[in-house]
Amino acid sequence: MKSKAVATPKRTKEILETYGFSFKKSLGQNFLIDVNILRNIIEHAGIDEEAAAIEIGPGIGALTEQLAQHADRVVAFEIDQRLVPILDETLQDYSNVTIINEDILQADVENVIAEHFKEGQPIRVVANLPYYITTPILMKLLMDRLPVDSITVMIQKEVAERMAAKPNSKSYGSLSIAVQYYTEAAVVMNVPKTVFMPQPNVDSSVLHLEMRKQPPVEVDDEEFFFNLVQATFGQRRKTLMNNLARHFKGSLEKEEIRAKLEAAEIDPKRRGESLSMQEFATLAHHFYQKLH
C-alpha cells in the first residue's frame, strides 16, 4: 500500500522532523500541504499519461508525487542538496521520476529533455516557484525557446496578474508584453496562504502559459523591441514622448521622436500602458528603421 500523500500537514511535519530539515529563507521554500490544490494545478496544466512533466523546485515531493501519478515521465530540478535524500524516500514508489540536483538557471534543459523524454511527446512545465526568482526562471524558459508546450506555475498573485495583464490596466507593463510575446497567458486559480508550510507573506495564483507557435507580432529585432517597450514604462506616469526622449537622449532629437510617433499614428501624449502589443511593434519598427 502506498503511504499517505506527501501534501498533508501531518505527513509534511513528519518528513521534516525525520530529516531535521529547516527551511532556507534564501531559497524561498514554501511547501504545499493541500492535495486538492495540487490536483487542480495538474488539471489546469493538462497533465495526462501521454505527457512529460518538468518540475522546478520539488521540495519534499508534494507536487512531484501527484505529477508522477498522472504523467508519463517527470524530471524535477532541485537546487537544495539537502532535499535529495528526502525526495529519494518520498518518491521511492515511482519509477517514472528523475531528480536532478541542479539550478534550473544553469541547467542545459534542452539536453535533459532529449535524454529523458520520448520524441514528440507533449512537454509541460509545472512548478510551485520560489517567489524571489520567478521572473528570471520564466524568462529563461521562454527566451531559450525550449520545446515545451505549456508552463503552469504557482507564483506570487501580483506577478501572475502582471504577466497576464491586458492594456489599460494598472498591472500591464513590459513584463506583460515579454510574457505574452511568447505565450498566451491566463491566471487560472488563486491560492490562499494557508495551504503552505511555512505560510508566505503574500497571496499566490496559478498562471498558465500556453506556448505560441510564433509571436503575435512581427518585429525587426527582438532585443530592440523589448528595450523600447521597457523604455516606455520607464516612468509610468509620464507620456510616451517623455519616456522615449529620455531613452533616446543623445541619439535622437525630440522632433525626430515626435515624427516617428506620428508616422506610427500614435499620439505622443499617450502612456505606455495604453498601447497594444501591435502598436508597440509598429512603434519599434519606425524607430528601428530610423536608427539602423
Q: What is the largest CA-CA distance in the chain?
A: 75
252 is in an annotated binding site: no
Give dist(CA 244, CA 129) in Å, integer. 34
Question: Is the distance from CB of 175 to CB of 169 less than 8 angstroms?
Answer: no
Beta strands in the chain (DSSP E): 31-32, 52-56, 73-77, 97-100, 123-128, 150-156, 183-191, 196-197, 204-211
pLDDT of residue 3: 61
Is 32 annotated as a binding-site member? Answer: yes
78 labelled ligand-binding: yes
30 is in an annotated binding site: yes
Residue ranges per domain, the chain?
A: 9-211, 222-291
103 is in an annotated binding site: yes
The number of beta carbons lying within 10 Å of the beta carbon of residue 4 is 11
pLDDT given at position 100: 98
Q: What is the CATH number of domain 222-291?
A: 1.10.8.100
Burial class (CB in 10 A: 0-12, 13-18, 19+), 68: buried
Euclidean distance between CA atoms 56 and 141, whole angstroms: 11
Give the Cβ contact number of residue 62 at 10 Å.
26
Angstrom distance (rounded) from CA 187 to CA 166: 12
pLDDT score for 1? 36
10-residue averages of pLDDT along the chain (292 residues): 80 94 78 95 97 97 97 96 96 97 96 96 96 92 94 97 97 97 98 92 95 96 97 94 95 95 96 97 94 84
57 is an annotated ligand-binding site residue: yes
Distance CA 66, CA 76 (A): 13
Q: CATH number of the domain at 9-211, out of 3.40.50.720, 3.10.20.30, 3.40.1190.20, 3.40.50.150?
A: 3.40.50.150
